[in-house]
Structure 1
């Protein structure tokens, strides 16, 4: 196992966050950093888009239109969540290093060690916990040689998280609807619902872990106050379906549709895009749009339609 900076590492230290120049160092032409999975690619798209070799899973066209500085090619994924990228194909991309971001479990650490040993390419595994986003920016910036930009993003991310924590209160109970029919959800304690739970909202889905399927019967028994989704199709269908909009005793259930551009505001994937959800919970649409602006350089005119909508 190599030391941080020359091989894989579970997480990096934040270090000092002084006033730094905002200029971005010159990037290698064509990209030289391989994202192991989509969460790492989203981090890179904000930190150093020109350094990306490509996307493990190509984002939708409407997202790429907001991310014009990133590589449009699809590489496949070393860690799941898309078409698999084999080691021979990864070697053919000739990465200078591999960046992974998310779960730092023993299984993922073993993948990092094995891949580094087989390819002879430094593999950096960073902790994807929401509260560690500032450390992830700083560490990723250091290992890929974009330290000034990494420190700036770390400082700004820390400020967003501080406002999010400061705005915490006892929120409503909620069910997070995913999948085509809304019956896929993030169970309590999962990365998928960390943004809402950390703001004091109470996740009613508690009979499993991670992300998985449930049933209408269970949702009815949980009786959440709010249905949350990133999918406009789910939101529209739910607003017309008595099952979703009526609670026990006849009270009306509220439906919250949060934006999913350029990535989901509470997950999809569980990466630095979750800062948008934190900013929205603390300061509404304008606060989230401001974060999208400094993360990805999105022009203000393109941000006006992004936000949260209460449909019921």
Structure 2
């Protein structure tokens, strides 16, 4: 081959490389491989713009770590949810999911065309069966189903916060949330360690409009009581999933709670004047507290990272002499501003911290 021929061939090879390289670069940059919490290797997009979750506990972490990427809620936000929620998140679609008494619809998820679907639910370790998850993955088609554990375990939120932040490229916000969370855990643990078992407050978690449903110690729905040094007085069985085991007023009388935590604010408002409840110590001393619930509950339903400010609230509610109102106000304000992107006024904060919260 002549020198001229060699030059032409060389130019042709270079041109081919230049033409192929962009295509190759696109292929390389469009996806990368991660390992989820069940050890499954998944190819996910490098650039993620839309995510959903199959259940509320994981959705709570998505909202706190990467709200701008959240494509849908699992249920329609209530007026209470929307009180401290920026407007752009109030009208997201509702996708449903698999949680409590709700059974999801695959097509609803697929039609949203998210980049990723997160699967993570309860304290018991779900999802734990790889075969079940893989079956669900088949139903979702090409949309990666990424499992994440401990999204409803108040003592282990650091893992899912870190993992979700890493997957979504939101490490800075995830690290900030984890720092707040770990400080709250440390404060609670150090305080509770100073309380003799005999001096721990007896607590009843009253659920429903009449207060006659509950979740005993060990339930994912009542973990904050145990963790913050209370004694859950309910001697009853755990109802799997949604919880809310029915009980009788006679049982509550026998349990003699010092404090009642109420999921229903109407019940908390009316029970002090209800003659049927007057012999219960918590009612006599007016220590019946409704759970702050805007934009999401500090205590339960869902059990998720929305509970993090509830660590401070529960500690103060049970042991106000050990964790003061001023300390609580500071930490609640910090959480709302940093992670709900809401600056509370003094009046709004006062309302949240009332025995029965009042909202703007």
- TM-score normalised according to structure 2 size: 0.73
Q: Deviations over 1:220-273 (max 9, x none)?
A: 22121221113220111211113323237x964631223111111111210111
How many Å separate the matches in 1 of 2:191 and 2:123? 29
How many Å separate the matches in 1 of 2:125 and 2:265? 37
Decide which structure has the larger Cα Rg and report it: 2
Contact 1:171 1:200 in 2 (8 A): yes
Look up the match of 2:6: none
Q: Deviations over 1:57-106 (max 9, x none)?
A: 12212322311152523423321247543112211111111123331646
Please state whether the residue corresponding to 1:78 is helix, strand or coil: coil
Q: Which consecutive residues of structure 2, in runs of 5 or more, have no partner in the other structure?
A: 1-32, 40-46, 317-322
Look up the match of 2:137: 116
How many Å separate the matches in 2 of 1:106 and 1:310? 34
Look up the match of 1:263: 296
Q: Which consecutive residues of structure 1, in runs of 5 or more, have no partner in the other structure?
A: 12-26
Matches within 5 A, 1:15-164: 32-68=50-86, 69-70=88-89, 72-81=91-100, 84-103=103-122, 105=124, 108-110=127-129, 111-119=132-140, 120=142, 121-128=144-151, 129-164=153-188
Q: 177, 181, 204: which is aligned to 1:175?
A: 204
Please state whether the residue corresponding to 1:131 is helix, strand or coil: coil
Find out whether 1:216 has 2:253 as its counterpart. Answer: no
Look up the match of 1:226: 259
Please state whether the residue corresponding to 1:112 is helix, strand or coil: helix
Please state whether the residue corresponding to 1:130 is helix, strand or coil: coil
How many Å separate the matches in 1 of 2:155 and 2:280? 34
How many Å separate the matches in 2 of 1:271 and 1:61? 20
Please state whether the residue corresponding to 1:117 is helix, strand or coil: helix
- TM-score normalised according to structure 1 size: 0.83
Q: 1:57 to 1:167 in 2, by over 3 A?
A: same
Q: 1:89 to 1:258 in 2, by over 3 A?
A: closer
Please state whether the residue corresponding to 2:71 is helix, strand or coil: coil
Look up the match of 1:198: 227
Please state whether the residue corresponding to 1:305 is helix, strand or coil: helix
Contact 1:115 1:123 in 2 (8 A): no
Contact 1:38 1:77 in 2 (8 A): no
RMSD (CA atoms):
2.7
Please state whether the residue corresponding to 2:119 is helix, strand or coil: strand
Q: 1:293 to 1:243 in 2, by over 3 A?
A: farther
